[in-house]
């Protein structure tokens, strides 16, 4: 049996390009599992439904490796689970070398796929480390130039404290407090909580 899995991260992104590629490959719509969900882990409803269907000898088709997930160490674990524990094959349409089906005329199959996957994992992990290093270097340079990070400090003026006290003592309504201070409701509540938790 041939199944396919399509995923995008955001609700405003479109799944149609992946689904069209699966249809062109000849996969029935009923065997295409798709969802709009982050690839940070494998806690996904449709992906779990797919795994319940997948059996030894089946083929799982995905458009590209990052549609399976974005964490390459987790992808390798999941790849091993599908190919070695479940006993199904995987084909990545955008990278034909990632095809675990054993070919009678070559020695490609699982061995080459595993090597390619490991190389991809190394490249992705290396890129993540480089990004972290570049980010840390950028923050260091910015700090040396006097750039401040985090939420800007909020000065509690006499006016703010008076309005906050009036609001807490129910002498004025929330709408009046927000208008007097020209502040948003979430921000006002944040500072009210901060004042309540401040040490005496």
Per-residue pLDDT reduced to its tens digit, 53-96: 999 999 999 998 888 887 777 888 898 899 889 999 999 998 88
- The C-alpha atoms of residue 124 and residue 69 are separated, in whole angstroms, by 12
- Residues designated catalytic: 9
Measure Cα distances from 94 to 22, 34, 52, 115, 193 in Å: 12, 18, 25, 17, 52
What average pLDDT score do residues 34-58 get? 93
Query: How many CB atoms neighbour CB 5 within 10 A?
Result: 24
112, 97 in Cβ contact below 8 A? yes
Q: What is the DSSP letter of 29?
A: G
Helix, strand, or coil here: 48? helix
118, 72 in Cβ contact below 8 A? no
Q: Is the dihedral of CA 81, 87, 92, 98 positive or negative?
A: positive
Which pLDDT band holds residue 200 (cuts at 50, 70, 90)? very low
Q: What is the pLDDT of residues 88-145, one digit of tens each?
A: 999 999 888 888 886 545 555 667 777 877 777 777 667 667 777 777 777 777 777 7
177, 163 in Cβ contact below 8 A? yes
**Backbone phi, psi, residue 95, to 5°:** -140, 85
Q: What is the pLDDT of residues 159-182, one digit of tens each?
A: 888 888 888 888 899 999 999 988
pTM listed for this prediction: 0.60
């Amino acid at each position: 049996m041939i199944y396919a899995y399509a995923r995008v991260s955001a609700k405003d992104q479109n799944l149609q390009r992946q689904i069209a590629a699966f249809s062109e490959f000849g996969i029935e719509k009923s065997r295409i599992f798709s969802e709009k969900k982050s690839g940070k882990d494998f806690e996904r409803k449709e992906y779990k439904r797919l795994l319940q269907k997948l059996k030894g000898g089946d083929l799982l088709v995905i458009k590209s490796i990052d549609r399976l997930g974005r964490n390459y160490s987790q992808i390798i674990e999941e790849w091993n689970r599908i190919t070695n524990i479940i006993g199904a094959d995987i084909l990545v349409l955008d990278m034909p070398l990632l095809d675990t089906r054993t070919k009678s005329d070559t020695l490609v199959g699982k061995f080459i796929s595993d090597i390619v996957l490991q190389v991809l994992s190394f490249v992705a992990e290396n890129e993540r480390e480089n990004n972290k290093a570049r980010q840390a270097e950028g923050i260091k340079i910015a700090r040396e130039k006097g750039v401040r990070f985090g939420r800007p400090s909020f000065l509690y003026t006499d006016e703010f404290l008076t309005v906050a006290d009036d609001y807490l003592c129910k002498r004025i309504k929330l709408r009046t407090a927000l208008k007097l201070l020209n502040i948003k409701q979430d921000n006002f509540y944040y500072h009210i909580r901060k004042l309540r938790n401040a040490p005496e």
